[in-house]
Amino acid sequence: MSAPRCPQCAQPCASPRLLPCLHSLCEPCLRRLGPPEGAPGAARPVLCPVCDAELSLPAGGVGQLPPDCLAGSRGRAAAGCDLCADGAAAGRCLTCGLRLCRFCCRAHRRQKKTASHAVTELENTKDCSQPGKPLLCPSHPTEELQLFCEQCDQPVCRDCVLGRHRQHPCDFAANVIHRHGDALRELLQSSQQRMDTLEDVLSQVDEMGVAVRSRAEAVATEICLFARGYVKAIEEHRDRLLKQLEDLKVQKENLLHLQKAQLQQLLLDMRTGVEFTEHLLMSGSDVEILVSKGLVSSRLTQLNSVAYSTHPSVDDRIHFSPHERAGQCCGYEVFGAILNKVVDPARCTLHGEGNGARQNQLSGFTLLCRDTAGERLGRGGEAVRVTIIHKDKRDCAVKPTVCDNGDGTYCISYSPEEPGLYAVCVCVKGQHVQGSPFTLMVKPKFREHQGVFHCCTFCSSGGQKAARCACGGTMPGGYQGCGHGHKGHPGCHHWSCCGQVKESSECLCAPPSDASQRSLLRTVAL
């Protein structure tokens, strides 16, 4: 039975140990791995030679990495007989720990030296792959690891329990394996579901790659049909457009290839972790599972926390406009251009947002979308999101209406129900545009105010500021002369008791008469 080989040196593994990425290397290779030893007590980063993952070795060195207890059984289809090496193992001697085929089992019971040994049948693959050799404590080499320290989360021996783990809660490995094994199985199930999602995303990426290539070919055909109408100039223009299309296709495919490579690497890492965990739970003994549990849980948790997009990173929006002016080509004005302008939220601008608003009145402003070059987009269809929230009343929000004009502009209208300061956010494709967010001041609404003035009480009083309106209010504020030149005339800008000026084209200081008494409708601010 050949011994497992180290993936770094390709030699039989000598004391293989597990890296945090769940790959196993022999101890000599681990000691040669990475840069020279750093400062005492500091973890030093290394790269795994198998998956290129950046890892940190423990501060205590390679010796602090857990041993790979299943390195010998991993990768074998089935365990063979340890005596004849010809048949498949069907039983195991509990006394000497050997795996035996059916013929050797019968011979083992008949031989005088081994007739008293207890030989049991192997019922499953896990029993078949177990080495049956006890794991010894690294601190006490003569003691077997039979207990588990809950506080330190590691297997221990009896001497450890009597020593530095005296006050720690400890129990036999057989008593705690069910709880820790179930936790690993739940994590394994979550990882398997994540692998299915990754495979679906990869399938979508492949499909999008086909769609991009198909769309590019369709546009190329359309360009060729259009170019046949012109002889030399149009043929040259066609070649230029095809090159531009090819560059665009390559750009999109490169982005898709990059996303695919990242997803494939994540899927490979997930598959490695899942296969290792499955093998550990199926083939490892209780102590072996507990030895590797910490690293396995950490690795699977790390992989499950990696963020990735569930959609392709680009779309297949490649359009050809045969009526778009394309400038001069060989002295001829040519038409036809590839439309691939992408809106740039950082270059989009707002217009009319600083005009303010009035309570219960319809107000609005305009959004102008531009591309990455700062040029105005001549089309609509962008994802525009507008939120208007009261700064003092978080539960008070205004629902705006966004109207797409189809020419790169969007009209945003709203009608606030409460006065005060509002925070307005305008986002395109989830990003703020220029000037967003901004503060909107909503003034109180107007109310109709009935004030009966005797040819303007303010004028008749000679401009006294203490004069009272017919409603009983005092008239604050100033006045301007109307140009009539009579003494004490305050002017034609008359102030109501509520502070709202009322302009009139005629002088209101005419001599009082019954006919001159008027009922003036004043619109004033609250």
- pLDDT for residue 123: 55
**Do 345-443 and 1-33+46-76 fall under one CATH topology?**
no
pLDDT at 408 over 80: yes
- pLDDT for residue 64: 65
pLDDT at 170 over 80: yes
pLDDT band for position 184 (50/70/90)?
Answer: confident
- For 457-482, the pLDDT digits (tens) are 556 666 665 665 555 544 444 443 33
Which residue is associated with the tokens 């140009």?
A: 483
- For 199-228, the pLDDT digits (tens) are 899 999 999 999 999 999 999 988 877 776
pLDDT at 26 over 50: yes
- For 424-456, the pLDDT digits (tens) are 999 998 889 998 899 989 888 765 545 544 445
Q: Whose CA is closest to 323, among 331, 313, 333?
A: 333
pLDDT at 367 over 90: yes
pLDDT band for position 526 (50/70/90)?
Answer: very low
What is the three-class DSSP state of 268?
Answer: helix
Strands 420-428 and 384-390: antiparallel
Q: Domain locations in the chain? A: 1-33+46-76, 83-122, 175-305, 345-443
What is the three-class DSSP state of 111?
Answer: coil
The span from the CA of 90 to the CA of 105, in Å, is 8
pLDDT at 125 over 50: no
pTM, rounded to two decimals: 0.36
Report the chain's mean pLDDT, rounded to a whole number.
Answer: 76
Q: Whose CA is closest to 165, among 139, 133, 198?
A: 139
- For 232-280, the pLDDT digits (tens) are 888 888 888 999 899 989 988 998 999 999 999 999 999 999 999 999 8
Phi, psi of 199 (to 5 degrees): -65, -40
- pLDDT for residue 73: 55
Phi, psi of 295 (to 5 degrees): -65, -40
The hierarchical CATH code for the domain 345-443 is 2.60.40.10
What does each C-alpha distance from 90 to 114, 338, 490 come to in angstroms?
A: 17, 70, 118
pLDDT at 491 over 60: no
- For 335-365, the pLDDT digits (tens) are 888 877 778 888 899 998 767 788 888 989 9
- pLDDT for residue 525: 35
The span from the CA of 128 to the CA of 72, in Å, is 13
- pLDDT for residue 453: 44
Q: What class does CATH assign to 1-33+46-76?
A: alpha beta
For CA atoms 300, 304, 308, 310, the dihedral sign is: positive
pLDDT band for position 14 (50/70/90)?
Answer: low
The span from the CA of 326 to the CA of 77, in Å, is 66
- For 59-91, the pLDDT digits (tens) are 666 666 777 766 655 544 456 787 776 777 788
